[in-house]
Chains A and B, each alone.
Chain A
Amino acid sequence: MVHIKRLQEDGADIIAIVGEIDASSSIELDLAIAKSVGEGYKKILVDCQALEYISSAGLGVFMSYIEELRDKNISFVLFGMKERVLNTFSILGLADLLNIRENKQEAKKLADELSV
């Protein structure tokens, strides 16, 4: 089960994921990102501090947005991943494709830099 919250801070949209993301809950993640992109945010941060587990379907969601985010010039940064979750990202090589930072501050900084 997953719970996804969205809140806005300094012009950035922060998507917080609480719980586990598997094949069925990945749809919610997809919706949240799609909404955020659709609403025209140029800086989107994903708060993974409470993300316990992510399956390949969940990773697929992030993956599927990579090109769109690049085309629309949206800076997209994930932060606060637990080691296990980060490991999943790096094994698949997604860590090289996505911007991942340790905490919110760094993530915000990166997002600001990227959007300049």
Chain B
Amino acid sequence: MFKTKAIIRLTSLFAAISWIILVFADITVLFSDMKALPPDVPVWLPRVMLDLYVVSLFYYYKFRIERDEGLNFTDLLWKVFATGLIATVISLSVRLVLFLLGSTKLPNNVLFIDFVYQINLALFINFLLAAFTCWKRLILYQKSKWLIRAWLVFEFMLLGILLYDSIHVALSEAISTIAIVLTSLLGLVLSANMRWVAYLNFKQKWTSLLLLLLSIFYLVYFLYSVTIWSDQITQQSVTFVSFQSHVFNIALLAFVLTYMSFSFLVVLFNLPTSSVFEQKLEEVVNFQRISQSIQTAQSEESVYNILLESSVSSVFADAAWLEIKGAANEQRLFTYQITEKETKEIHAHLEKHKIKGALDQSSDKTKNLSKHLSSLKSTRFRSLLAFPIKVKDETIGTLALLKELPEGFNKEMTRIVSAFANQAGISIENFRLMEEAFQNARYKEELKIAKTVQQSLLPTRLEQDADFEISAFSASADEVGGDYYDTLRISDHEIALIIADVSGKGTTAAFHMSQMKGIFHSLAQLGPNPRDFMAKANKALVFCLERGSFISATYFVINTESKKVFYSRAGHCPVLLFKASKQKSEFLKDKGTALGMVRSHDYRNFVEDNEFTYEPGDVMILYTDGITEAKNNKGEEFGNERLAEVLQNNAEKSSKEIEESVISTLYKFSGSEDINDDYTSMTVKFR
């Protein structure tokens, strides 16, 4: 930054110094010429100084304008205009001074005129170089290798011309003509680079036109005034070299003026089409809005609204509507400048005329339905365009655009809106996928809660008695099941036991399980006989269980006084009992229908009261179907026989040990630690 500033200062200083030397040298040369004396300074000095002035200014503007990235197109034109304005103002003030001096001797002095001429010339060249640098930036706006090379060649050619001017080597006419023709051709070719014009919006174009017009005016003014002064001097001095004989000045002027006029004309002719370009830009922005709407966590609704807005503004539709089948299959309608009634009328009209695949959900192609509208007298619309909106190849909605003009839509518009509709489809698909992912995460979280609930519903401690010991085991699969077991002491000699399996899985199962627990804890303490317990439990449950859900359960009352077990089985797995006297384990055969299956009062007839007497050494195993239905890798079930066998072989052990052997045999059989159902068992050993 500092370096650039230093260079700018240095170059301006150089320019100033060389100009001052130029003026003095030129006046001296002119003075000597007038007096026909040999000049004190070399004749070539003014020319060299002029070259130096030009080169310094060239670099000054190179650093001032060319390197400044912050300038946009109108800024550049403004720079040219501003430089021209300042130059003109200075030039006009000089004229004012001359005017004020009136017809005194001084203004007619050729040396004074030369001074004024030099001022004007310097300002003129300054203006030209500023314009030259700005044009360079405009021309090289969209660079290509070729373009940069061409420009470099052009700059060197101009430098060559500048040097040629000052050295005045006599070249043959042919060579100089070729050089001039080549430079002009190159300048013309370069002047054709007007891409920047396309990027101006309407307002900027008007500004540019004004700035260019004023700049041309300044240019013409300077050309005029410099010519006048130089003519005046030429009349009085023979050796005076006017600026017109400087090929460089002429070349620079020609180039600047050409590009200026070209730009003016191009901007002027581009004025009517500028709205098209702006339109295109807006489409891009709209496109971005649709695709980004998903990232900003907006709702599906906003995607639809953006789609509707963008489509309408892109094709200048008079009205539009969007019908969408939502995620939950509900129909939704978004409208723009049209009432719901009108859309229904158009719908009905199209349906009446059996126009298939138009606005119905089965259409998968964009349709121009304008011709069908002409027969609908009640509507003000004469053009209709329908687009399907697809998510995962399924049409979820239709976008309809309407115009009051007949034949209002062209192919271009169809393509744009089609792209919008596709993009919206993708956005909605993404949106739904994301929603699904959220749902899944929520479901998983719910399962976790259900699992905790289920675990907390199982008792931490089981009733023990001098007559028996109880062990219980429960392992649940990833999906929450509804296995439940519990114990409750009714009196000194009566203890209630329950094992239950709730149908279904997940939160509902956990919920039903908690109801079962409530029923058990409230009913059991009243000490009903097992069959009554089942009948009452069923009555309570039918109001909370939904269609198709049921609970299988077995309820026991162990009476330590009578040494009897009373039980009722409601659709649960049969009880496995080991009789120490027979040294044999068997499944108790009895009948009973699961809770919740029979909704009428006669449920009592579907369950039984059963009982058996126990003796020390007897073992009772209660279990859920997860155990007997556990499969090995061959697809065989663990089954009742294996369970009975394990009990028979381990019956003399403690309840805990029996349970452990059942579990270890089960895991060995299934061959893996992953279980696909809940394993629950309760082992009661009598003593």
Contacts and interface: CB of A to CB of B under 8 A. Distances in A.
Interface of A: 23, 30, 56-57, 59-61, 63-64, 66-67, 84, 91-94, 96-97
Contact of A96 (B548, B572, B591): B591
Given A64-B547, A91-B572, A91-B573, A97 B597 contact: yes
B114 interface: no
24 contacts: A23-B504, A23-B505, A56-B501, A56-B504, A56-B550, A56-B552, A57-B548, A59-B503, A60-B503, A60-B549, A61-B548, A66-B597, A84-B637, A91-B552, A91-B572, A92-B550, A92-B593, A93-B570, A93-B591, A94-B593, A96-B591, A96-B593, A97-B593, A97-B597
Contacts of B606: 93, 96-97
Given A64-B547, A67-B599, A97-B597, A91 B574 contact: yes
Given A23-B505, A60-B549, 20 more contacts: A23-B504, A56-B503, A56-B550, A56-B625, A57-B504, A60-B504, A60-B550, A61-B548, A63-B550, A66-B598, A91-B571, A92-B550, A92-B552, A93-B570, A93-B571, A93-B593, A93-B597, A94-B594, A97-B598, A97-B606
Interface residues of B, number: 25
B594 to A, nearest CB: 5
A105 B550 CA distance: 32
Given A94-B593, A96-B593, A64 B571 contact: no
B257 to A, nearest CB: 83
Nearest to A61: B548
B397 interface: no
A23 to B, nearest CB: 7
A61 B598 CA distance: 13
Interface string B552-595: 10000000000000000011111000000000000000011110
Residue among A23, A30, A91, A93 with most chain B CB within 10 A: A93
Contacts of A91: 552, 571-574, 625
Contact of B592 (A23, A60, A61, A93): A93
Contacts of A66: 597-598
Interface string B633-652: 00001000000000000000
A93 B594 contact: yes
B548 A63 contact: yes
Interface string B481-521: 00000000000000000000101110000000000000000
A75 to B, nearest CB: 19
A92 B571 contact: yes
Which of the listed residues B549, B571, B599 has the most CB atoms from chain A within 10 Å of its own CB?
B571
A94 B570 CA distance: 10
A42 B48 CA distance: 118
Contacts of A92: 550, 552, 571, 593-594, 597
A-B pairs with the 7 shortest C-beta distances?
A93-B593, A60-B548, A64-B548, A92-B571, A56-B503, A64-B547, A93-B571
Contacts of A63: 548, 550, 597
A66 B593 CA distance: 13
Contacts of A64: 547-548
A57 B548 CA distance: 7
Interface of B: 501, 503-505, 547-550, 552, 570-574, 591-594, 597-599, 606-607, 625, 637
Contacts of B549: 60
A57 B677 CA distance: 13
Nearest to A92: B571
Contacts of A57: 503-504, 548
Contacts of B503: 56-57, 59-60
A93 B574 CA distance: 11
Nearest to B599: A67
Nearest to B598: A97
A97 B540 CA distance: 20
A91 B591 CA distance: 8
Nearest to B551: A56
Nearest to B593: A93
A84 B629 CA distance: 10
Contacts of A59: 503, 550
A61 B592 CA distance: 19
Nearest to A64: B548
A30 B547 CA distance: 12
Contacts of B573: 91
A64 B504 CA distance: 14
Contacts of B607: 93
Contacts of A23: 504-505
Contacts of A97: 593, 597-598, 606
A61 B505 CA distance: 15
Contacts of A60: 503-504, 548-550
Contacts of B570: 93
A30 B505 CA distance: 18
A57 B482 CA distance: 13
A98 B625 CA distance: 21
A52 B534 CA distance: 31
A23 B504 CA distance: 7
Contacts of B593: 92-94, 96-97
Nearest to A88: B625
A7 B677 CA distance: 35
- With most chain B CB atoms within 10 A of its CB, the pick from A59, A66, A67 is A59
A1 to B, nearest CB: 14
A42 B72 CA distance: 85
Nearest to A52: B635
A42 B386 CA distance: 48
B500 to A, nearest CB: 12
A101 B503 CA distance: 25
Nearest to B545: A60
A62 to B, nearest CB: 9
A30 B625 CA distance: 23
B82 to A, nearest CB: 78
A62 B593 CA distance: 14
Contacts of A84: 637
B300 to A, nearest CB: 28
A96 B590 CA distance: 13
Contacts of B598: 66, 97
Contacts of B571: 91-94
A30 B552 CA distance: 21
